């Protein structure tokens, strides 16, 4: 199959972008090709995938699930999560995955917002349902066995769905490319989580060859991110579009990653956040290149990208994406430009603008706004949140909330989430850039930079770091290391060492929690240690 076979800015045929018809297509064309391999070694061909999906889909229909309805899915990675995803889409229902870390008010909010009356839930998560108002929920379908906890919901077993007959109720109408495919909830760092409504065309635009030309039907994608996150949900669809295969892990493990890659015969991996840093800071081994992986997406692109390429023998790419958009910025292999996210891919327009949506000059920082030339190529809005939708889509462009700059050659550089930017004595500071420089120290495993109130005015910079196992660090020496790599005003005044940074299951650092904790009793103060930096002393302009 050639890339041009399904590369088209117009609306593609259903069998090139809609889950149901993609499964039917590959089961007919390549029935014996393996589509998915699981952590325990079990593997399903496209023919087996279709058979299993149809049985679960018929089971959902017997539970009353109709085309166009939402169904909540609250599962860890594994066969049941994948079957729920595809079976719901197979009957035209909307897949609504929940983060397995949710509980309390966050869980109550997404259940209420989703309008779901049925939830597929792992038995170990059931006790959390008793802590909240279950809104419209009426039925729970239990994965992983039974539960003794009484939620007041009518209970069924997912295993029973897997053994349903394959007699499907006919669809009301064919599933169209612009029909809703999923609602994925964002992290909710600035308020209640927002449900990103995506069509099949949105998913296809994020998966197709204009976005991922380096991924082919011969590849196998190793997926370690959770399926309730776009970073875990998109790769299986990327490979389904191509008639290719993927391997699904329960999660990312530094110690087990390369062994899993080798065992699964993966050729493509996605390294999000600190994953690449963790792998680089492992002791070197004669087995570093004995894995079979050819391509890796490193997001963000670190200073260690070239070293990673040389050590592990893998071509490195980077992108910029978020749940709401469709990877508008993609790099060439092994980009030599430090810190870039790449250039604009075909099919999208990107502008960097000020607070009035006026374009900023090249080289200046502005918010990235995006639009596509394919209808339905990005999100269809925030579910049941018209105000947030209107705000994000104002003036006909989607506003990412991310600050970037662009150079004369067209390369884009991520500066910061606008809400995470730090302002110290008139200087705007990118927390992202501070973190990148701190992590370049060999003893630092990971870092987060936040602003804390200053007794003078605005903010002081605080860094929260964790240390590589077995390493030691002198905080004065760390600051002296940093002052030779960044402007003096960016060097953290406060540093706190923790065992690990608080994260969501999608490996995003929970900066909101760090801001709440603020200056703790174990926080080191550079000023009180007598180590002060200034423009005059350093000769920096």
Angstrom distance (rounded) from CA 26 to CA 530: 67
pLDDT tens profile 156-202: 999 999 998 889 999 999 999 999 999 999 865 456 789 999 999 99
Backbone torsions φ then ψ of 525, nearest 5 degrees? -110, 115
Please report which confidence band the pLDDT of residue 234 belongs to, taking 50, 70 and 90 as the band edges.
very high
Q: Cα–Cα distances in Å, from 399 out to 132, 325, 539?
A: 33, 10, 39
**pLDDT, tens only, 432-472:** 888 988 998 999 999 999 999 887 667 899 999 999 988 99
User: E strand or H helix at 127, and its extent?
Assistant: helix 126-129
**Is pLDDT of 237 > 60?**
yes
- Containing domain of residue 439, as a range? 421-538
- 22-38 pLDDT per residue, tens: 999 999 999 999 999 99
CATH value at residue 26? 3.40.50.980
**Phi, psi (deg, nearest 5) at residue 88:** -65, -45
Do residues 74 and 119 make contact, with C-beta atoms less than 8 angstroms apart?
yes
Which of 154, 123, 144, 172 is CA-nearest to residue 80?
A: 144
pTM: 0.85
Taking each helix axis from N to C end, the angle separating 19-29 and 230-242, rounded to the nearest 10 degrees, works out to 40
Which residue, of 175, 201, 235, is where some domain finishes? Answer: 175
Q: Please indicate, yes or no, if residue 181 is contained in any of the structural domains.
A: no
User: 167 and 23 share a domain?
Assistant: yes
CATH of the domain at 402: 3.40.50.12780
Say which DSSP state 168 is in: P
Do residue 407 and residue 430 come from a single domain? no
CATH number, domain at 487?
A: 3.30.300.30
- Same domain, residue pair 317 and 442: no
In a domain, 238, yes or no: yes
- Count structural domains, the chain: 3
194 located within any domain:
no
CA 176 to chain centre: 26
Same domain, 276 and 161: no
CB burial of residue 2 (10 Å; 0-12, 13-18, 19+)? exposed
**Mean pLDDT estimate for the chain:** 91
Residue 499 lies inside a defined structural domain of this protein? yes
φ, ψ at 29 (rounded to 5°): -85, -40
198, 380 in Cβ contact below 8 A?
yes
In this structure, the answer to whether residues 249 and 314 fall within a common structural domain is: yes
> Given CA atoms 156, 158, 162, 166 in this order, what sign does their dihedral have?
positive
- 139 and 103 belong to one structural domain: yes
DSSP 16: G
Q: Please, how many CA atoms are within 13 Å of residue 390, restricted to the half-sphere of its CB?
A: 4
Contact 264, 292 (CB under 8 A): no
3-state secondary structure of 372: strand
* pLDDT exceeds cutoff 60 at 539: no
């Amino acid at each position: 199959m050639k890339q041009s076979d399904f590369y088209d800015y117009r609306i593609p045929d259903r069998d090139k972008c809609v889950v149901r018809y993609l499964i039917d297509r590959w089961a007919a064309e390549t029935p014996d090709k393996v589509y998915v391999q699981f952590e325990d070694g079990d593997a399903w061909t496209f023919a087996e995938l279709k058979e299993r999906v149809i049985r679960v889909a018929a089971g959902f229909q017997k539970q009353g699930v109709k085309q166009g309805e939402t169904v909540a899915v609250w599962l860890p990675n594994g066969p049941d999560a994948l079957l729920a995803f595809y079976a719901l889409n197979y009957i035209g229902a909307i897949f609504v995955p929940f983060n397995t870390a949710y509980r309390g008010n966050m869980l109550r909010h997404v259940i209420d917002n989703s309008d779901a009356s049925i939830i597929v839930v792992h038995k170990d998560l059931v006790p959390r349902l008793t802590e909240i108002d279950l809104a419209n929920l009426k039925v729970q379908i239990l994965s992983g066995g039974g539960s003794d906890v009484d939620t007041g919901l009518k209970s069924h077993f997912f295993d029973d769905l897997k053994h349903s007959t394959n007699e499907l109720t006919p669809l009301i109408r064919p599933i169209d490319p612009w029909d809703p495919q999923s609602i994925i909830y964002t992290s909710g760092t600035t308020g209640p989580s927002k449900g990103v409504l995506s069509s099949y065309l949105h998913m296809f635009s994020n998966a197709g060859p204009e976005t991922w030309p380096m991924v082919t039907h011969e590849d196998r994608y190793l997926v370690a991110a959770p399926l309730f996150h776009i970073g875990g949900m998109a790769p299986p669809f990327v490979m389904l579009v191509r008639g290719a295969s993927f391997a699904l892990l329960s999660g990312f493990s530094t110690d087990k990653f390369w062994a899993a890659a080798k065992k699964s015969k993966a050729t493509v991996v996605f390294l999000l956040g600190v994953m690449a840093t963790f792998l680089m800071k492992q002791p070197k081994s004669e087995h570093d290149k004995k894995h079979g992986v050819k391509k890796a997406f490193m997001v963000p692109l670190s200073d260690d990208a070239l070293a990673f390429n040389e050590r592990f023998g893998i071509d490195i790419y980077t992108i910029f994406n978020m749940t709401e958009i469709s990877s508008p910025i993609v790099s060439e292999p092994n980009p030599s430009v430090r810190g870039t996210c790449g250039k604009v891919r075909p099919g999208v327009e990107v502008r960097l603008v000020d607070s009035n949506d006026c374009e900023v000059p090249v080289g200046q920082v502005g918010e990235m706004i995006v639009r596509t030339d394919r209808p339905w190529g990005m999100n269809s809005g925030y579910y049941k949140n018209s105000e947030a939708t209107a705000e994000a889509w104002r003036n006909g462009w989607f506003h990412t909330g991310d600050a970037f700059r662009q150079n004369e050659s067209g390369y884009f550089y991520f500066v910061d989430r606008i809400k995470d930017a730090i302002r110290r004595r008139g200087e705007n500071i990118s927390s992202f850039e501070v973190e990148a420089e701190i992590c370049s120290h060999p003893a630092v495993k990971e870092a987060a930079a936040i602003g804390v109130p200053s007794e003078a005015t605005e903010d002081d910079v605080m860094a929260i770091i964790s240390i590589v196992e077995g390493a030691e660090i002198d905080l004065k020496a760390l600051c002296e290391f940093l002052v030779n790599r960044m402007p003096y005003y960016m060097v953290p005044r406060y540093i706190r060492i923790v065992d690990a940074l608080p994260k969501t299951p999608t490996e995003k650092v929970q900066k909101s929690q760090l801001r709440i904790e603020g200056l703790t009793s174990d926080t080191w103060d550079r000023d009180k240690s007598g180590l002060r930096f200034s423009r005059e002393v350093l000769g920096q302009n």
